[in-house]
Structure 1
Amino acid sequence: MSHPLPPTSQDVDAIAAWSVIRAARALARRLADELAPHGLTPVEFGVLVQLAASGDPQGRGGLAQADLARAVGVRPQSMTVMTRTLAERGLVDLGERRGRGRRSAVVLTDDGRRLLSRAYPVVLASNDWFGPDPATAPALVVTLRPLLGPAEQPAPHVP
């Protein structure tokens, strides 16, 4: 079905995908402001929280960089730089480098775990941004979950 051009602002606002993209950008900026006092970006928080959720109850299982990149939603090349930076800050351990093509798990360090324990409540409180009804944020997660890929991907949620 064709639509006349130019579209109206109501036409643009009715595009669900575009609204989600705009909202994601606004939420990322807001979350960045909330995490800044902790010295984290939203993506860095994503790395730490995915690592914490990846293994045993202490988060000591670790993830390969490629799996971590998928879980956080960034390119593998970006994850290489990100994990190196987080390792330099003492927040993750990159393990032994065994050569090209061999898996080496990225693991959360004790310092990373301590920082995450301070940042996690800040991010969890962002659920309140979606209104006073406590059911709204979980319903939004259920709605968006199919867009994030298969449920068997590493750490789709944090218990």
Structure 2
Amino acid sequence: MPREFAATREDVDAIAAWTVIRAARTLARRLGDVLAPLELTPVEFGALVQLAAGEQLTQAELARAVGIRPQSATALVATLADRGLLDRGPERGRGRPSRITLTSAGRALLAEAFPAVRASNSWFADDGDHLTAILAPFTGDATDPADTVP
């Protein structure tokens, strides 16, 4: 017969990974509030800033860089392209990876959004840059599959 499981709030709060997941959800909502006046979501910001850092990415590379599934990237790219924020390139179609780039409108919007997002480091009692350095090994890079955990 299985034993009943019991945990205290302290037991739950002592699980670092679960605490990070809970914090990430809260931070995503707060960042969403910061970006709302610019009509951007955190994921859309992530796509724009990854394109700025990588210059040209395929849709699959962008999905990995942003940490979303490739299927979700299709809608994301279409939305941003429809808004004139990125260019999907001329060679679109099944089996033909196109190189996605930022448009001048995308760069202008990113120039407005980036300082506000960077200012979110002030949300942390410690130095936000230090926290970023601690979490960086868990984020992978644009060459890792989105579901790979280090």
> Would you call these one fold, judging by a TM-score over 0.5?
yes
Question: CA shift at 1:152, angstroms?
Answer: 6.1
Report how many aligned residue pairs link the two structures: 142
Q: Which runs of 4+ in 1 moved over 4 A?
A: 150-153
* 1:11-50 alignment runs, 5 A limit: 11-50=11-50
Q: Which residue of 2 aligns with 1:139?
A: 130
Q: Which residue of 1 aligns with 2:75?
A: 81
* 1:81-120 alignment runs, 5 A limit: 81-120=75-114
Matched, 1:72 2:61: no
Identity of aligned residues (%): 60
- Structure 1 unaligned regions, length at least 5: 55-60, 154-159
Q: Which residue of 2 aligns with 1:7?
A: 7
Partners of 1:125 and 1:68 in 2: how far apart?
A: 24
**What SS does structure 2 have at the residue aligned with 1:63?**
coil
Partners of 1:88 and 1:151 in 2: how far apart?
A: 24
Alignment root-mean-square deviation, CA: 1.7
Q: Residues 112-140 of structure 1: CA distance to partner in whole angstroms, max 9, x if unpaired?
A: 00000000000000000002x5xx21221
CA contact (8 A) 2:64 2:143 kept: no
- Greater shift after overlay, 14-23 or 88-97? 88-97
Change (3 A) 1:150 1:72: closer
Change (3 A) 1:79 1:151: closer
Partners of 1:16 and 1:98 in 2: how far apart?
A: 43
Q: Which residue of 2 aligns with 1:157?
A: none
**What SS does structure 1 have at the residue aligned with 2:100?**
strand
The TM-score normalised by the length of structure 1 is 0.84
Q: Residues 36-83 of structure 1: CA distance to partner in whole angstroms, max 9, x if unpaired?
A: 0000000000000000111xxxxxx31000000000000011011100
- Structure 2 unaligned regions, length at least 5: 145-150
Question: CA shift at 1:111, angstroms?
Answer: 0.4
Give 1:24's aligned amino acid.
A
CA contact (8 A) 2:61 2:143 kept: no
